[in-house]
Every structure is written in C-alpha cells, then in structure tokens.
Amino acid sequence: MRRLKILHRTYYNFLGAVQLEPHRLLLRPREGPSLHIELSTLDIVPAAQIRWLRDAYDNSVAIATFNSSTTHLGIVSECVVQQFDERPLDFLVEDCAVNYPFNYDAESVEVLRPYLGGPSLGEQAALGAWVRRYWHPGESVQTYALLARLCAGINQSLTYQIREEPGVQSAVETLARGAGSCRDFANLFMESARFLGLAARFVSGYLHAPFEDGRSGSTHAWSEVYLPGAGWKGFDPTSGEIVGSRHIAVAVARMPEAVSPVSGSFFGPVGAALSVGVWVSDQ
C-alpha cells in the first residue's frame, strides 16, 4: 500500500470585481477497491457554499455557490489517499473476450452503448488507416495484447507536447499533427478502441511522477476499456503502459469535455489570469 498526498491549487485573478456563477469542481479522487481517501479538504476564497453530489458517472462533484463579488478566486484541494493498485496486470478476462474480435452480451451492450459510438463519417477513413497498422481485419489476437499495441503505438509514433490552450484535439487532428498532450493521446486511444467496437471512456486524474525531491506530480488523462470479467481497465498512451499505482483517477466520462477539474462562469470585466499548481508526493 502506498500513501500519496495530492495538492491541487487553482487561482484566478480578474481585471475588476466580478460576480461568480456556480462552479463545478471535479477534484476528489474516485474511491474503490484500489484507492481509499484518508483525508480530503477543499478551501475556497471567497467563501462559498459547497454542495456535494454524485453525477451520472458516479464522480464526486462539488458545486460551489458564491454570494459576494470578488477580484480573485482561489481553490485549494488537498487529499491523502491510500493506493493499492500495485499489480495492474492481475486480472482475468472472461473466456468469451480473451481473443479479439468478440461481442459484448446483450445486457452489457445496453449499459455500454454510450461508450461504443464510433468516429464520424469524415474521420473513419483516417482513423481506420491508423488502427490497421496494429490490427488487420480477420486477425485473431488476444484482446489485451491488441490494446497494449495501440497504447504503445501512440507513445512510440507520436510526439508528446504540453498544450496550455483549452480543449481536446480530435483523434484525426492528433494523427495529422503527429503530436498532442496527454488528453489528446487519451482521446485518440479512446476513439481507436471504439472504432474496434470496444467500450471506452475518458479519465482525468493525477500522475505520481516524482523527481529527486519526491514532490512532483501533475494532472493527467488516460482511457479505460471495458473488458468482460475484468471491468474497466486503464491504458495510458502517453507513457505507453497500463494504468497502475502511479495513476489516481478523479473523474470518468463519455467525452473529454465533461471532466474539467474546474468549470464555471462569471459576470464582469472580460479577462482573467489563471495559475494552476499540482503536487503529488509520497507520505
């Protein structure tokens, strides 16, 4: 078991006094068999009324409501988690899904339908050509081995870059540019899995990647694929590896736009300076 401390600071400085509309915060890690939350605090300036809820994806969402105008917004989330996912390859896939291609059973299809949508007609040709570099129709291959191929393929054939601008590139745009951020790579992997008829979803969270001082970390994005018998299994195409103890999931969704850590609006002078800092350290 590993204990990790996650400190996520978000600051906005506005050009003048503004009135903040309710803000939606996705900052609390997803608990489950491999992760327990030991401590969690959320401090917001100016003072806000906080209401917690579970959304349709079972993410923990904080809705912050403000009553006063301000020139500054500060959001500080601090968590201490116990991480148990130290053997990510310790899972079993049902016999019917060990080899690809396979079909989900009828009941699963009804639940997984939102995660099974393929690319638009305009993107099918380009995405299909890329996927066929790693799998040819008619080839029988172990399902996990195929997903590992796709994951490693993105890592090895594309260039990682830090993108400060908001939004996520489409899968075809990432292929055309030959480069992208972690969220772009996660989206490409997700769309590739869906192209193959597999249920996939987008995941946002944190990555524990310490330097010598042991205090480094970052926000991160990856994808999960539903494998019968194993459940949702994570793949990180940025590093080319299966998701394990270095990854702390915060939110999952059908599309990347739904898992922004902080979202909201304000009334007042246009323009704001944003500063974000994330630290993930051993405890």
Instruction: Report how far Cα 130 is from the mean position of its chain's Cα atoms.
Output: 23
- pLDDT attached to residue 90: 84
CB atoms within 10 A of CB 150: 25
- Ranges of the chain whose pLDDT falls below 70: 210-216
CB atoms within 10 A of CB 151: 28
- pLDDT attached to residue 187: 97
- Three-point CA angle 215, 219, 220, nearest 5°: 120
Contact present, 38 and 80 (Cβ < 8 Å): yes
Contact present, 70 and 20 (Cβ < 8 Å): yes
Contact present, 238 and 223 (Cβ < 8 Å): no
pTM of the predicted model over 0.85: yes
Contact present, 267 and 19 (Cβ < 8 Å): yes
Cα–Cα distances in Å, from 143 out to 98, 125, 196, 243? 6, 23, 11, 16
Q: Which of 139, 138, 187, 189 is nearest to 163 (CA)?
A: 187
